[in-house]
Amino acid sequence: MDTAGADWLTSTRVAIVAGKGGVGSSTVAAASALAAAQDGADVLFIAVDGRPGMGPLLGGDELGDRDRLLQKTDGGGRVRGRTIPAEQAFSDYLELKGVGGLLRRAATAASLPMIAAATPGLEHLLVLGMIKQLEKERTADLIVVDAPPAGHAAPFLRSASGLSDVVRSGPVLEQADEVSEMLTDPARSQVMLVTLPEETPVNEVVELAADIGEIGISLMPLVVNACWADRPGLAKTPAMAARSHKTKLTSAAKDALESAAGFGRLRLARQEHQLERLRAELDLPIIQLPRLTTTQIGPDDLPTLAAALVGGDE
Amino acid sequence: MSAADPVPTLRDSVIGADLLVTCGPGGVGKTTTAAALGVAAARSGRRVVVVTVDPARRLADALGLEEGAAANDPHLVKGVTKRASDGALWALMLDAETTFDRLVHEQAASERQSEAILTNPVYRAISGSLAGAQEYMAIERLHQLYTSGEWDLVIVDTPPSRHAIDLLEAPDRLIRFLSHPVYRALTVGQRAFARVTNAAAGAFLWAVRRLAGPQIVEDTIEFFRSLSDIEPGLRRRAKEVSALLHSEAATFVVVCSPRAEAIGEAEHLVEALDERGYPFGGVVVNLIHPLPEPLTAADAAALADLGAGPLADHVEWHDELTELATAEREELEALREMAGDVPFVELPLLDVDIHDVAGLAGLAERLLGRVER
């Protein structure tokens, strides 16, 4: 697959971005939304668990449970954003099924936690059901879904198939079937996996890819977040490196540069080793995003990541 | 650190506490930290058991844990201490379902009662996923191990959670669940539909039936009924666990990384521990980038605007690493202030992932200074 340009991203209608906790999948989801909008697409960004800060990261206000415009891009694209709280998905669903107001209020106030407890995966399914509804209505050219973090991505995506083990009739089963149909049609939805070039995240993304493959969902190129740029010059000592530039270093400068280089050589070798493992274990194109030298990625950093996403293969 | 030093260290917790809970966001090395503290305690002569949740594969290997239910019972970790009298480390991997089953067995009045619950399809489906079940089970397992009296120290690694505080509230949440009016209405009387007159419970049953069909309604009611038989026991247990976590025997160690988001969660957790009166034993920050020695102003000026080449690689790398390492140190300031007098340990990003006991021992030394073997 050619990952230069935004086609790989906009060739489906729902991009579900998932990764284990701490790998930056929410940031990558936001960068994907921006990249597609910069390509002229009308994008809807959905933060499933309503994590704070995502609206401002995309240049707007905090996300709420209704669409709001976050930014317009040159070339006619735009990013809107929203959350889908489980309670809202439930109440909207009851409304869709023609349930009256008073009873609906009673049912939602008293019993969502109980119904959810009795019907595992129901909350996830209702959220996916709402996404499916938005996709069917062609609310946007591309819907980017920031999937639940940590260990919850696989259960989230498995909720549709898993529920049919417990529920054998009724609208929940229909809903589950319709969601499964969307998830297994690559023209309608695909999953973008995010990881880091570190041993444990690599192990985990390989497992996650297998889980998702089992459910029958197509995978987009794999995004490896926070990759240091290659620095072949570090292989030389600072003094040797200076010779190539026909210059000399003070001994203080040699020490200072070497104090960084020792760590850098190990780090880069390790990063390359993990990228090799990913190439060997997953049959997916790999997109590397640069490691930014900040502890918190802000709206000003997002265009850098968006550009790297559509900038072509590693 | 000298014996007279009044500043508390993690060593105090490892030697003095009976229960140690590690908590924090995902992806920060929480499980590895818990295991290393276990090695340190064992080498201080204590009998220690570490309860892990979903450890990375190589760490699980290091602890001798294999996949499957067998891992739910403590395994002796070999190679931690030389003689049995030196203390020892056991490890186990939490299996929420098995723990829940065990809890039902213990609390049920009869074999028939526990069978009724354990074979219910709704129970089978939810025992691994009931609201906060995994968190609750981590706590429950801690209680089981603690009360067994077989260990001097029980270390529990908590499930990664965006809202790590869920763990602490898990026992209360179970009590709330059992006190829910809908639950109460459902569990009164014998015949489901005839007796359920409570409006909310009626709406609940109606909604479940509408959504998921009649069979699951029967199963659900049956499940809640059978659960009510063991309710007094669950309630009592939840209270005991809550009291234990608040007692002086326990200590909580918050683990995080220097990313802004992880620090935010750690700060939230520190506040919550304080507000709710849980004993707070320390903060461990993993994965910190090393700060290179600075270039002098003159050297930096001389090295600006180099053409592409190996020296430019060196200078750019030095700049980038310095920038990130500096940002991380600034980001950590507020958390350090919040931690106040409790131990605050900063650990550099390691060169290799830890995958054996020697690696854990090395980390233990960094966590609390050299440990006598």
Among A4-8, A158-162, A230-234, B208-212, the range with the most confident prediction by mean pLDDT is A230-234
The pLDDT of residue B117: 79
- Tell me if B292 and A167 make a contact (CB, 8 A cut-off): no
pLDDT digit string (tens) for A20-69?
888 999 999 999 999 999 999 999 999 987 778 999 999 999 999 899 99
Q: Which among B129, B209, B327 is the nearest to A294, CB-wise?
A: B327
H or E element in which residue B232 lies: helix B231-246
Q: In Å, how far is A105's CA from the nearest CA of chain B?
A: 9
Tell me the ipTM for this assembly.
Answer: 0.91
Average pLDDT score over residue span B206-224:
68
Task: Tell which residue, A281, A150, A310, A176, has the closest CA to residue B54.
Answer: A150
Q: In Å, how far is B25's CA from the nearest CA of chain A?
A: 8
Confidence band, pLDDT 50/70/90 cuts, at residue B164: low
Residue from B198, B257, B314, B356 whose CB has the most chain A CBs within 10 Å, to mutate: B314
pLDDT digit string (tens) for B94-130?
877 777 788 788 878 888 888 887 887 667 666 655 5
Q: Which among A22, A114, A170 is the nearest to B213, CB-wise?
A: A170
Among A30-34, B199-203, B275-279, the range with the most confident prediction by mean pLDDT is A30-34
Is domain A7-228+284-309 classified as CATH 3.40.50.300? yes
Contact B113, B230 (CB under 8 A): yes
The pLDDT of residue B162: 58
Residues 74-93 of chain A with CB under 8 A from chain B are: none
How deeply is A141 buried, as exposed, middle or buried, from its count of CB atoms within 10 A (0-12, 13-18, 19+)?
A: middle
d(CA B35, CA B57): 14
d(CA B329, CA B341): 19
- CATH topology for B10-291+321-368 is Rossmann fold (3.40.50)
Q: Where are the domains of chain A?
A: 7-228+284-309
Residues of B in contact with A111 (CB under 8 A): 182, 200, 203-204, 207-208
Task: Tell which residue, B161, B111, B168, has the closest CA to residue B136.
Answer: B168
- Tell me if B311 and A238 make a contact (CB, 8 A cut-off): yes
Residues of A in contact with B176 (CB under 8 A): none
- Collapsing DSSP to helix, strand or coil, B102 comes out as helix
The pLDDT of residue A21: 80
d(CA A82, CA A140): 13
- Collapsing DSSP to helix, strand or coil, A295 comes out as coil
Residues of B in contact with A171 (CB under 8 A): 210-211
The beta strands (E) that lie in B101-215 are given as: 153-157
Residue whose pair of structure tokens reads 């060739």 in the numeric block: A11
Alpha-carbon distance values, B70 to B56, B66, B100, B105, B251 (Å): 17, 8, 15, 18, 28
d(CA A80, CA A5): 21
What residues contact B111, with CB distance under 8 A and at least 6 apart?
Answer: none
Contact A209, B65 (CB under 8 A): no
DSSP letter at B167 equals H
Confidence band, pLDDT 50/70/90 cuts, at residue A97: low
d(CA A122, CA A185): 21
**pLDDT surpasses 50 at B191:** no
Specify whether the backbone of B71 is left (phi greater than 0), alpha (psi in -120 to 50) or beta.
alpha
Residue from A293, A294, A301, A304 whose CB has the most chain B CBs within 10 Å, to mutate: A293
d(CA A49, CA A34): 20
H or E element in which residue B251 lies: strand B250-256
DSSP letter at A62 equals P
- Sheet with A286-290: strands ordered across: A68-72, A78-83, A42-47, A142-146, A14-18, A189-195, A222-227, A286-290
- Higher-pLDDT residue of B204 and B130 is B204
Residues of B in contact with A49 (CB under 8 A): 162
Confidence band, pLDDT 50/70/90 cuts, at residue A122: confident
Q: Name the CA radius of gyration of chain B, rounded.
A: 25
Confidence band, pLDDT 50/70/90 cuts, at residue A192: very high
Contact B104, B230 (CB under 8 A): yes
What residues contact A105, with CB distance under 8 A and at least 6 apart?
Answer: none
Q: Where are the domains of chain B?
A: 10-291+321-368
Contact A238, A260 (CB under 8 A): no
d(CA A59, CA A46): 15
Number of H helices and E strands in chain A, helices first, is 12, 8
Contact A216, A183 (CB under 8 A): yes
- Tell me if B213 and A199 make a contact (CB, 8 A cut-off): no
**A296, closest residue in chain B (CA to CA):** B260
What percent of chain A clears pLDDT 90, i.e. is strictly above it?
68
